[in-house]
Amino acid sequence: MSTATRTSATARTLAIWFLTNLGGTTWLVIDFCRESPTDAAVPLIIGLVAAIISLIGVPLAIPFFALAQAYCTGWRCRLTALVVVLLSFAIGNYLLINMLPIGPVSSLLSISKPYLVATVLAVMWVYRPRPAAKQSLAWPPQSAHVTRRVPIKLSGMNY
């Protein structure tokens, strides 16, 4: 696996992480503040905790996204990333329910649903189909490689 693939996979993973936390926290802030504008601190703290906890999973996701990027294309990549996101969401919620005294599943889902929606949207955006790169009209072509220098003669002198 090339360094460029790993760097791109790291950038994609961090983009998904950032967009997920930004979108989920924004949704929670809007939802909480709609009923009581003074409750803005609660969803911001939830968002901060979610960002810190989910940051732990970023290094674990980078190899997956690097392999997915190297071996699949187009819609297969999108579907594979979505399946992994949904499995990670299910495993994370299962661990939260069993390790923390959160209460019923419905209370956990009301807080984590915005993050799931934001993650799905982030994956769909990051792995969107892109048009093929257009050929550049610059001269010399990008593939041309000059291997020797040609002397330039100006007023009888070699430079």
Classify each residue of 7-19 as buried b or exposed e, where b means 16 or more C-beta atoms within 10 Å of its C-beta.
Answer: eebbebbeebbeb
What is the Cα–Cα distance from 41 to 131, expressed in whole angstroms? Answer: 42
Is the pTM here over 0.85, yes or no? Answer: no
How far CA 94 is from CA of 5, 25, 55, 98, 104, in Å, comes to 32, 21, 18, 6, 12
**Do 96 and 108 form a contact (C-beta atoms < 8 A)?**
yes
Phi-psi map region of 44: left, alpha, beta (phi>0 left; psi -120 to 50 alpha): alpha
Helix or strand or coil: residue 57?
A: coil
Tokens of 2: 């090339």
Q: pLDDT in tens for each of the 159 residues of the chain?
A: 566 555 688 888 899 999 999 999 999 999 888 888 888 888 899 899 888 888 888 888 888 777 777 777 777 778 877 887 888 788 877 877 777 776 676 777 778 889 889 989 998 888 877 665 554 555 444 555 555 565 666 665 555
